[in-house]
């Protein structure tokens, strides 16, 4: 007899999807603030680039982890629900 899962597979899949989506969106938007603030205070472009890159990775990881845990705790959001067309195998617009 198989053990019942604490977190359903559908929820885990949606949480992983949310993690990747949030991570990539955060990477695209989080370089400017840490790099800009560092450059303003130090006037060192190389240090600013390094701090910006580190801040980008750390910020994106924190945001993505929060997204993953939010979906696991609250369930699959409406945006991630499988629609009727997806159930029929129609993923592309005709």
Total domains present in the chain: 1
Question: Per the domain annotation, does 18 fall within a domain?
Answer: yes
Angle at 16 between CA 68 and CA 32, to 5 degrees: 65
Burial 39-67 (b: 16+ CB within 10 A, else e): beeeeeeeebeebbeebbeebbeebbeeb
In a domain, 21, yes or no: yes
Q: Does the residue 46 lie in any domain?
A: yes
Q: Which domain holds residue 69?
A: 9-74
Instruction: Provide the pLDDT for residue 92.
Output: 46
pLDDT given for residue 74 in this prediction? 87
Q: Domain for residue 63, yes or no?
A: yes
Q: Are 46 and 39 in contact (CB under 8 A)?
A: no
Confidence at 88, pLDDT banded by 50, 70, 90: low
Is the pLDDT confidence value at 80 over 90? no
Residue range 23-78, pLDDT digits in tens: 999 988 887 888 888 999 999 999 999 998 998 999 999 999 999 999 999 888 77
**32 part of a folded domain:** yes
Strand positions, DSSP E, the chain: none
């Amino acid at each position: 007899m198989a053990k019942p899962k604490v977190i359903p597979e559908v929820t885990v899949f949606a949480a992983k999807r949310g993690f990747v989506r949030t991570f990539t969106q955060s990477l695209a938007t989080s370089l400017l603030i840490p790099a800009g603030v560092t450059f303003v205070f130090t006037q060192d472009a190389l240090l600013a680039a390094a701090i910006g890159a580190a801040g980008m990775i750390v910020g994106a990881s924190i945001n993505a982890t929060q997204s993953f845990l939010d979906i696991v705790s609250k369930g699959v959001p409406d945006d991630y629900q499988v629609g009727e067309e997806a159930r029929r195998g129609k993923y592309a617009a005709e």
